[in-house]
Structure 1
């Protein structure tokens, strides 16, 4: 029994690795499927390549052909049991003659769940929960939106050692070094949307695109979102044809997140200035902070975040650091809010 458990773990690790090939910002989750024959050999594998393409299980089954009969399927997410752009993966596995299905995470989407129970009812051995924590981490933001109804929000912060985001004259380019700025572009490419306020859009005229070190654009761009009532000039970089842009004429973070959730976006990269950041923080809508701290002192200038209404140290917002590392000459600190909602 222990030997089989170890083997199952190894194959699920492979399925998780396969799933990671999928597009992270896609509306659908990243899912991998590995088919293993009764003799313990690899038969085929597949992963979901994005909305409108075959799910991981049909992709693996197509590669396997008749060799899928009698195999064990290792899947990182419970096989779906609904018909959308594609048919139910539960039916596809059963029709292919798969003998056993091992999955990592139950599907929290009520319209798609139920595949494991259906497979079991049809005589296929089904086991769940293997490497569940790893699979949850792989689809953290998608699972968050599915369970809460809103996207996961990461606030990107660039600050000096004394907590300034701009100098007294308003200039802020560049607080951090080129390595940190490139790191931001890599993070942008993994998100479904970038959000700023009209203040940032007017003052900095940012492009809000995800770019490679040579300046070329990533193949897939996040949605550029500007929130606020003020008009933007037609010449604003954020209105060029590098990526899609929406101007949401609201100051409500909840309205912004509702709009983005309705578009299937599950990870928002918040680059707004101190006022927008404070609004999201005040509403409890920031789940994670990625702070780039530069070894720079300004003494005065714009604070990194506006008034949060905190008057005593006992009410301070406490963060849970999850990663700290040097990026060039700057320090990147990643932390989650202890009571992120």
Structure 2
């Protein structure tokens, strides 16, 4: 199952709105178990992992065990049910992790297999399977994607000096890791101030992974992003979406659209600013399951304040900038410590002098 989960990770950032699934087919032979088929969800969500693994296994699938990192689907979509394909291939046993939260599946895949006499074992590595596809689960339970906040700062949580200088706080190894994060998310989100000041490309620029650049999204309520920005100039090569408030200047809206930029209207909250929960729901409705947020401080604060941040990847350089620098997260208006949103440390790593700490939202 660990192998199936590892295969599934290959699909992260490439398979939305589907989950990233891995499948390993094993024959129990006299000397030792033998892997006869491997598969993972292909870009765009099709073919599914089970279909890929069965194709590689061929006739050797008959009587074998299939390890699948999510319950096999049971409904007809663009392709037939994976549970049905496993049955037709003569699989004798299926080992699964966790029930598919899609209401069209929700246990029916396992039940279909059992009805045909196939032995089914569930809840193997279930916690790992949920973590891997948490974005897919959240789109089903909360109608929003997984939100990962990525921060690169000094030890005292500053992202730039008092005059705005920020390049480079962290080193090359940290930037490499940051690009890997981009490759495993469906979309990358920044605020309009970050997009204007930094004029970023927001692409994945690692060798061989250029095709895994996520959809670039800017939260720009007033359509301030310059039409000459890098994002707008190559919007037809790598998609760019603008989250904006309704009622913006029609000529400017038309100019963005003529450049290939997609505009998504988000209603304001009671304070007249963009409703970020509504924004996340709008992204989920468009098939986004994983969003990486890279700046700025006010956007980060609004997402944290609304309890929308599920994970934090915090890169810290061994430097101190001081209180006159720009904070990684703007003011939250917290008066008491027990009001502060909590996170749980999951892992840490050293990156050529920098440190990256991975956090998940506390319960």
Shorter chain as normaliser: what TM range?
A: 0.7 to 0.9
**Normalised TM-score (structure 2):** 0.83
1:161 and 2:151 aligned: no
Query: For residue 32 of structure 1, what is the aligned residue in structure 2?
Result: 22
Query: For residue 55 of structure 1, what is the aligned residue in structure 2?
Result: 48
Deviations 1:281-325 (A, max 9, x none): 111111111112222233313222211011233333332111222
Contact in 2 for aligned 1:25/1:266 (Cα 8 Å): no
Using the TM superposition, name which of 243-252 and 21-30 deviates more: 21-30
Instruction: Return the alpha-carbon distance in structure 2 between the equivalents of residues 121 and 162 of structure 1.
Output: 59
> Aligned runs of 1:184-333 on 2, under 5 Å?
184-212=178-206, 218-228=210-220, 229-241=222-234, 242-250=237-245, 251-299=274-322, 300-333=324-357
Instruction: Return the alpha-carbon distance in structure 1 between the equivalents of residues 307 and 216 of structure 2.
Output: 22
Q: What SS is found at the alignment partner of 1:84?
A: coil
Q: Which one of the candidate residues 19, 32, 54 is aligned to 2:8?
A: 19
Give the superposed CA RMSD.
2.1
Q: Which one of the candidate residues 131, 141, 158 is aligned to 1:137?
A: 131
Contact in 2 for aligned 1:98/1:124 (Cα 8 Å): yes
C-alpha deviation, 1:25, in angstroms: 4.0
Instruction: Return the alpha-carbon distance in structure 2 between the equivalents of residues 157 and 287 of structure 1.
Output: 14
C-alpha deviation, 1:249, in angstroms: 0.5
Instruction: Return the alpha-carbon distance in structure 2 between the equivalents of residues 217 and 98 of structure 1.
Output: 35
Q: Which one of the candidate residues 65, 74, 77 is aligned to 1:81?
A: 74
Q: How many residues align?
A: 326
Contact in 2 for aligned 1:104/1:130 (Cα 8 Å): yes
Deviations 1:140-179 (A, max 9, x none): 3333333322111111112223332222222222222222
Instruction: Return the alpha-carbon distance in structure 1 between the equivalents of residues 361 and 70 of structure 2.
Output: 27
**Normalised TM-score (structure 1):** 0.88
Structure 1 unaligned residues grouped into runs of 5+? 1-11
Q: What SS is found at the alignment partner of 2:110?
A: helix
